[in-house]
Structure 1
Amino acid sequence: MQTVRTPDDRFADLVGYPFAPNYAQVQADETDRGTMRVHYLDEGPADAAPVLLMHGEPTWSYLYRHMIPVLVAAGHRVIAPDLVGFGRSDKPTEQGDHTYARHVGWMSELLFGHLGLRHITFFGQDWGGLIGLRLVAARPDRFTRVVVGNTGLPTGHGKPTEAFLAWQEFSQTTEEFPVGFIINSGCTTDLSSEVVAAYDAPFPDDTFTAGARALPALVPTSLDDPASADNIAAWEVLTAFDRPFLTAFSDGDPITGGGEAPFQAKVAGAQGQPHTTVEGGGHFLQEDRGPRLAQVINDFIAATP
């Protein structure tokens, strides 16, 4: 597996991102030959129960810069990894090297193996949910509560939204993959040029974008998809998951609009919870309404000790 590593100087003096980097090595592939460097943020008191924040496509931990201070101020330890292929993590250069199962495995090795996290409060959005909810299903004993926003766990049943199908086609056919522009287009706020540049920072050229291009095509859209059976099995676990489970979707996302309904209807721990609509947020609600979303998580933790 060939990988590239974004030069450190690309991350110097990014606006609103003063956090120190942390790194771990994970196994690159199933052959057990070679490792990759994975980046994560680790903020707040080391002895506090962790709040795990997982980003999606095509963002990185920069997405959580508005939320981390609010969560840390409430006394929480915050872990925010960069998925393999994103942020300061190493980037396999071939789209075929990115599979759903591998991304789950890479994050499992980081979070459970290297960091040994327990008593986790999880929040995931977009692919952060697709990967993170598989981790919840694999190790439910490690999670105390779950919050999800603008995400899902698709199995291939049903038809995807037209907005998602258009995004999927764009990701596979566009000559250039303008990450910062894409993220700005998924926000209700107009991002400054400095913020757009920060989202572009991990991707100096198209050599670095294989993961960002690959993930949309890895979302199961039929029962023949390689990940369909694994996601169906994960849903069976999540249906019985009886620890507190909260949805916090925004009101302005055409891709995942209505996606909270299956969680609210099926997950045992979602029954009777104060599910929240984050008003004024687009697909990237962490960017549009980060402090508000962080306070929702703080309040949920306080109410479900």
Structure 2
Amino acid sequence: LRDAGFRVIAPDLIGFGKSDKPTKKSDYSYAGHVAWMKAFVAALNLSDITLFCQDWGSLVGLRMAAENEERFARIALGNGGLPTGDQAMPKAFKIWQSFARFSPWFPIGKIIQKATVSHLSDEVIAAYDAPFPSGRYKAGARAFPVLVPTRPDDPASAANRAAWEIFKHWQKPFLTCFSNRDPITRGGEKIWQDSVPGAAKQEHVKIRNAGHFLQEDKGPELAATLIRFIQANGE
């Protein structure tokens, strides 16, 4: 994307980079992550944004776009969503949620490897592990699965429902680029294609032989998809 001439901003969510991070799970909330990222975008005064979001990037990014429509020009969603707790979650997610909550063993790099199709080198796994030198640094990573709304009365459910109402009238370009080998989000693109007006005339993409972290499995293919999307929708 950068080589194609675009400005690319890829912030670490709080709790995940090598910078200082809160060390208690209670320090993290869904609303807090949204507020942190809204403050980040406001501080940089970003506009005409093309949002690509995946996993928690979508839970945070889609909320942020719905609540700050004027800053966003187009959205590409891959392997993510905006759950309200009104629908049943896949069994694979419930297993992951329990693992994050109760397992004493929580190896970040190997977890990423489990969620990809391609083999990651020892160096890549070590890079994923680097921001988490001990368990006390993993509070944010452990908190994330538990913060996903899985009940209608979840603290984030009302705000996510409100965001869905915005997207039901969203006319700006909206692309789905899900992978075919993610047991958690497989098929999740259909509701967006059917519900978002801006998705109606887009050439949605299914990225083959990629797992949950499709940007790790098929980075160049995903980048090419995003470039085509931006160029076809008013660069």
Structure with the larger strand share:
1
Structure 2 partner of 1:86: 16
Matched, 1:154 2:83: yes
SS in 2 for 1:217: helix
Distance 1:186 1:234 in 2: 28
Q: CA deviation at 1:88?
A: 2.5
Superposed counterparts of 1:125-204, under 5 Å: 125-204=54-133
SS in 2 for 1:243: coil
Structure 2 partner of 1:300: 229
Structure with the larger helix share:
2
Aligned residue among 15, 25, 28 for 1:95: 25
Structure 2 partner of 1:52: none
Q: Is the 8 A contact 2:18 2:130 kept in 1?
A: no
Q: CA deviation at 1:89?
A: 3.7
Query: Cα RMSD over matched residues?
Result: 0.7
Distance 1:211 1:261 in 2: 30
Q: CA deviation at 1:111?
A: 1.2
Matched, 1:76 2:6: yes
Whichever residue aligns with residue 237 of structure 1, its letter is I
Structure 1 partner of 2:146: 217
Superposed counterparts of 1:253-292, under 5 Å: 253-292=182-221
Query: Please, what TM-score do these two structures have when normalized by structure 2?
Result: 0.98
Q: Give every structure 1 segment of 4 or more consecutive aligned residues whose post-TM-superposition deviation is greater than 6 Å.
A: none
Q: CA deviation at 1:280?
A: 1.0
Whichever residue aligns with residue 229 of structure 2, its letter is F
Structure 2 partner of 1:29: none
Matched, 1:250 2:179: yes
**Structure 1, unaligned runs of 5 or more:** 1-70
Distance 2:136 2:172 in 1: 42
Q: CA deviation at 1:99?
A: 0.3
Matched, 1:107 2:37: yes
**Structure 2, unaligned runs of 5 or more:** none
Query: Please, what TM-score do these two structures have when normalized by structure 1?
Result: 0.76
Q: CA deviation at 1:303?
A: 0.5
